[in-house]
Amino acid sequence: MPACLPLIIRPAVEADLPSLVTYSAAMAWETEGRRLDPGRLREGTAALLASAQHGQFLVAETPHEGRPTVIAQLMITYEWSDWRNGQFWWIQSVYVAPLFRRQGVYRRLHEEVLRLAKNQGNVCGVRLYVERSNQVAQSVYRRVGLAHSAYDVFEVDFVCGHTPSSTSAHHGD
């Protein structure tokens, strides 16, 4: 791979659905050892693509083996902050295909999120959560300028359940 991988960062479209579903399932397995229900995942991903009310996906695309190929994804969801009279953008479902890791792909996706958020006008910040044991991801997030938050996440998950390691993930790692 070249040192400066040619990338197009763009909003995901319906044609990206198979890649998004594949990457989200791979991310859940790699980071938490979870096997997601493929039908539910496909329906949830398609719903987000059909309506930007809850969020959006960005993808990174590069020429690979003679054709444009989606090699990474990132989902943004929204949370209103009454304290700030603005919206936090949450980065979720980050996945970079193994062949393209450690080449700045996430950094470029992250930079695009920040650019879009700042241009939006009502975005007060960007947050993400990360599995507490995922030290590799935490290191990447620190390198792009994210800092550990003062908050922990508590949850009751009615669909996927939870394991002790995933119930107290941190914001902002």
DSSP string spanning 111-153? Answer: HHHHHHHHHHSSEEEEEEEE-TT-HHHHHHHHHTT----S-B-
For the cut 70, the answer to whether the pLDDT of residue 162 exceeds it is no
Considering only residues 65 and 16, tell me which one the structure prediction assigns the higher pLDDT.
16
Note whether 91 and 146 are within 8 A (CB).
Answer: no
Amino acid present at 70: V
Considering only residues 8 and 156, tell me which one the structure prediction assigns the higher pLDDT.
8
Mean pLDDT of 145-154: 81
Domains annotated for the chain, with CATH where assigned, are 8-132 (3.40.630.30)
> Average model confidence (pLDDT) for the chain?
88
Of 104, 100, 79, 101, nearest to 89 by C-alpha is: 79
Residue with tokens 């914001």, as numbered in its chain: 171
- State the pLDDT at residue 145: 83
- State the pLDDT at residue 168: 41
**What is the token pair recorded at 35?**
């096997």
- State the pLDDT at residue 173: 36
Give helix 105-120 / helix 135-143 axis angle, nearest 10°.
Answer: 50
Band of residue 8 on the pLDDT scale cut at 50, 70, 90: very high
Band of residue 1 on the pLDDT scale cut at 50, 70, 90: very low
For the cut 90, the answer to whether the pLDDT of residue 83 exceeds it is yes
Mean pLDDT of 76-97: 95
- Strand 8-11 to 123-130 pairing: unpaired
